[in-house]
Structure 1
Amino acid sequence: MIQRTTARIEARDPDIEGASWQSLLARSITDPSTLLQRLGLDSSLLGEGSRIGHAAFPVRVPEPWLARIRYGDPADPLLRQVLPLADEGEERPGFVTDPLQEADATAAPGLIRKYRSRALLMVTGQCAINCRYCFRRHFPYEDHRLTPRQRETVIDTLRASPEINEVIFSGGDPLAVNDHLLSQWASALSTVPSLTRLRIHSRLPVVIPQRVDDALLEWIGSTRLSVVMVVHVNHPREIDDQVCRAMARLRQAGATLLNQSVILKGVNDDPDTLQALSERLFDAGILPYYLHGFDPVAGAHHFDVNDQRARELVRQLQARLPGYLVPRLVREVPDRPGKTLLDVGMEEGGE
């Protein structure tokens, strides 16, 4: 167990408020000992498994996220999402490097197609924050880097597939890319007649809300495609006032805001937290969308919550919340034509 140090070191960086998202991204904490020191925790207790995990999937924590972690609390749910623990050095049967078998679904370099009407574009391998439970923590991003010629191949592939009406910007985190390139992608995609929607899966507007700036809003507001922004929030304390302001700006630009969460042991595997999460999301103008069953990725078994427990949690949410605030409990199963809904055995929420 990680213990507290006696000397208090202030976690918050006073330069956060006026900084650009690019500088905040560049200044992210990339060392687990530094992370713990900033939080007043004893870094000497990081074990060999933590070092193995960090070597395989390096720590990355931006300052705005750090500022929301409770100082001196080794069990803080926001800290647990980003700190490599000794468990990461253990191998467990059934926990694999490619749990969704995405290597078999590549339609073109950078383009993954698992479903008939949607295609996923790997815009970048970079993230603003390295979540320890990430199902792509072992993903070979170097094999999906897109050259200008390959970008043309992607557009040609989409033109030749008129059944695809939605492209999903993914990664990594697509909003870690500069807006000039994203605007180019949006313009190119808008020339494909069959496309009607652009979905963006991003953690950045939450972990670095400064990312929602004028340049981002300009291209989102000008594309002919309907833009859906799917953020990724697992705990209500991830949403502060600055995140709420960023979400308001995205809505004003015309984006539809949805959230997907992952059920995570020690983070949100209790009904009070999940209820507070749905309420906080709605306050921020975001609708709960999916609650994902845990993907069995190697190095993250300590986050696993079994489906029986997940179903019970959603049943409790249904008794507490209106239906529109109860996320759908799903699991992504390779080779199936869509997400697999996990039946919870009750009606979908209250009135």
Structure 2
Amino acid sequence: MKAAHSVSDLVASGLMTPEAGAAVAGVAERYAVALTPYLLDKLAGAPEGDPLYAQYVPSPEEAYTAPSERDDPIGDHAHSPVKGIVHRYPDRVLLKPLHACAVYCRFCFRREMVGPGGEALSPAELAAALDYVRAHPEVWEVVITGGDPFLLSPRRLAEIVGALAEIGHVGVVRLHTRVPVADPARVTPELVAALKADGLASWVAVHVNHATELTEEARAALARLADAGIPLLSQTVLLKGVNDDAAVLEALFRALVRNRVKPYYLHHPDLAPGTSHFRPSIAEGQALVKGLRGRVSGLCQPTYVLDIPGGHGKAPAAAAWIAEDGTVEDFQGVRHRYAP
């Protein structure tokens, strides 16, 4: 089975009827489409309401751009001092060596920047990006993102990680990826070995939105990373119609922890164009997160965050538990007075 990179591929695979394909032709011309053979197999026969289907298969609703939506919703461009670097926080930078992904999520906040054949940094551009990190001793953590860095060959990944390990003030490299749940066979022993270098702590943040993504193959890929001593985090986007339900989130976060993945961030969806149908309200998100407090342990609790539009960074978005009158609400909704 071949990967799908167009509406015609999706129709040929049976995931869309010709009529449904015609309805999203314009959407697919603007926003990249890609599903791996692995996902095509998992989605065979899936209804449109399937949580995987909604994440990867284009919808006519993407043709609508809400007035508040923007091409660069989190302000990457405004904080990019050199190509491939985003320096938004003092002690860490994003390093984006490529702008291609194995799959293209329908809610992606970089959907105007990524796509098939997504531009990769040239050797000179990568060298300049690494030089920027060397010249800024305040940078302690480098987040390799893009695009998906797990699309790089093990050789190229090892070169980048090795170069970062030689920069004395860099202590942590964090790689953000969708590959373990979108194309788990790509997580080979060679790729895992490429993520590690002496003197550098390597972490992997895996993007997972629903427990059904944690198939046997995906769990095995995560185990290859965890067994190699690489700490694993998760990032989840709160998506209307996919996981905006306390029981669904509970199942996801329990499954992640059972597979040695610490839930890290639950993102409120960014203001990317054509994604308004995925966005619940902040109040709805706060209620869901509040409902999780008594359902799952602290190990299973990510931080609910909003990336402030324009590049001003992430802010915790959860509702307050301590009121101005000094009372504290417990997980059952009962308020108690606290007198220090």
Task: Specify if TM > 0.5.
Answer: yes
Q: 2:161 touches 2:196 (CA, 8 Å); kept in 1? A: no
1:318: Cα distance to partner?
0.9
Please identify, of 227-236 and 247-256, the stretch whose mean Cα deviation from structure 2 is larger: 247-256
Task: State the Cα deviation string for residues 116-170 of structure 1 (Å, max 9, x = none).
Answer: 1111011111100000100000027899742222222222211211110111110
Q: Find the counterpart in structure 2 of residue 91 from structure 1.
A: 65
Alignment of 1:113 with 2:72, yes or no, is no
- Matching residue within 18, 34, 40 for 1:43: 18
Whichever residue aligns with residue 215 of structure 2, its letter is D
Alignment of 1:207 with 2:213, yes or no, is no
- Matching residue within 159, 169, 174 for 1:194: 169
Q: Write the distance in 2 (CA, Å) between the matches of 1:231 and 1:348.
A: 31
Q: Write the distance in 1 (CA, Å) between the matches of 2:200 and 2:219.
A: 24
Whichever residue aligns with residue 303 of structure 1, its letter is F
- Matching residue within 270, 276, 282 for 2:251: 276
Q: 2:173 touches 2:202 (CA, 8 Å); kept in 1? A: yes
Alignment of 1:247 with 2:222, yes or no, is yes
Q: Find the counterpart in structure 2 of residue 71 from structure 1.
A: 45
Q: Write the distance in 2 (CA, Å) between the matches of 1:344 and 1:327.
A: 14
Alignment of 1:330 with 2:305, yes or no, is yes
Whichever residue aligns with residue 147 of structure 1, its letter is S
Q: 1:326 touches 1:349 (CA, 8 Å); kept in 2? A: no
Whichever residue aligns with residue 97 of structure 1, its letter is D
Alignment of 1:148 with 2:120, yes or no, is no
Q: Write the distance in 2 (CA, Å) between the matches of 1:337 and 1:278.
A: 28
1:348: Cα distance to partner?
9.3
Q: Find the counterpart in structure 2 of residue 135 from structure 1.
A: 109
1:211: Cα distance to partner?
1.4
Task: State the Cα deviation string for residues 307-346 of structure 1 (Å, max 9, x = none).
Answer: 0000011111112111220111001114676420013234
Please identify, of 227-236 and 334-343, the stretch whose mean Cα deviation from structure 2 is larger: 334-343
Q: Find the counterpart in structure 1 of residue 139 from structure 2.
A: 164
Alignment of 1:262 with 2:237, yes or no, is yes
Q: Find the counterpart in structure 1 of residue 31 from structure 2.
A: 57
- Matching residue within 264, 283, 297 for 1:308: 283
Alignment of 1:286 with 2:261, yes or no, is yes
Matched residues, number:
324
Whichever residue aligns with residue 179 of structure 1, its letter is P
Change (3 A) 1:295 1:165: same
Q: Write the distance in 2 (CA, Å) between the matches of 1:146 and 1:321.
A: 42
Q: 2:209 touches 2:237 (CA, 8 Å); kept in 1? A: yes
1:230: Cα distance to partner?
0.1
1:103: Cα distance to partner?
0.9
Q: 2:74 touches 2:311 (CA, 8 Å); kept in 1? A: no
Q: 2:100 touches 2:114 (CA, 8 Å); kept in 1? A: no
Q: Write the distance in 1 (CA, Å) between the matches of 2:310 and 2:105.
A: 25
Whichever residue aligns with residue 62 of structure 2, its letter is E
Q: 1:47 touches 1:86 (CA, 8 Å); kept in 2? A: no
Secondary structure at the counterpart of residue 67 of structure 1: helix
Q: 1:64 touches 1:207 (CA, 8 Å); kept in 2? A: yes
Q: Write the distance in 1 (CA, Å) between the matches of 2:283 and 2:311.
A: 21
Secondary structure at the counterpart of residue 113 of structure 1: strand
Task: State the Cα deviation string for residues 15-34 of structure 1 (Å, max 9, x = none).
Answer: xxxxxxxxxxxx31112344
Change (3 A) 1:136 1:336: closer
Q: Write the distance in 1 (CA, Å) between the matches of 2:86 and 2:15.
A: 42
Q: Find the counterpart in structure 2 of residue 340 from structure 1.
A: 315
- Matching residue within 67, 71, 74 for 1:100: 74
Q: Write the distance in 2 (CA, Å) between the matches of 1:160 and 1:240.
A: 43
Q: Write the distance in 2 (CA, Å) between the matches of 1:230 and 1:236.
A: 16
Q: 2:57 touches 2:106 (CA, 8 Å); kept in 1? A: yes
Runs of 4 or more, structure 1, over 6 Å off, are 140-144, 347-350
User: Structure 1 length as normaliser, TM-score?
Assistant: 0.86
User: Structure 2 length as normaliser, TM-score?
Assistant: 0.89
RMSD value over aligned CA atoms?
Answer: 2.2
Change (3 A) 1:335 1:192: farther
Please identify, of 76-85 and 35-44, the stretch whose mean Cα deviation from structure 2 is larger: 35-44
Whichever residue aligns with residue 195 of structure 1, its letter is V
Percent identity between the two aligned chains: 31
Q: How do residues 14-53 of structure 1 correspond to structure 2 at under 5 angstroms?
A: 27-39=2-14, 41-48=16-23, 50-53=24-27
Whichever residue aligns with residue 267 of structure 1, its letter is V
Segments of 5+ residues of structure 1 without an aligned counterpart are 1-12, 14-26
Q: Write the distance in 2 (CA, Å) between the matches of 1:65 and 1:217.
A: 22
Task: State the Cα deviation string for residues 31-83 of structure 1 (Å, max 9, x = none).
Answer: 234425534653313454x2121001121001212233362412111001111
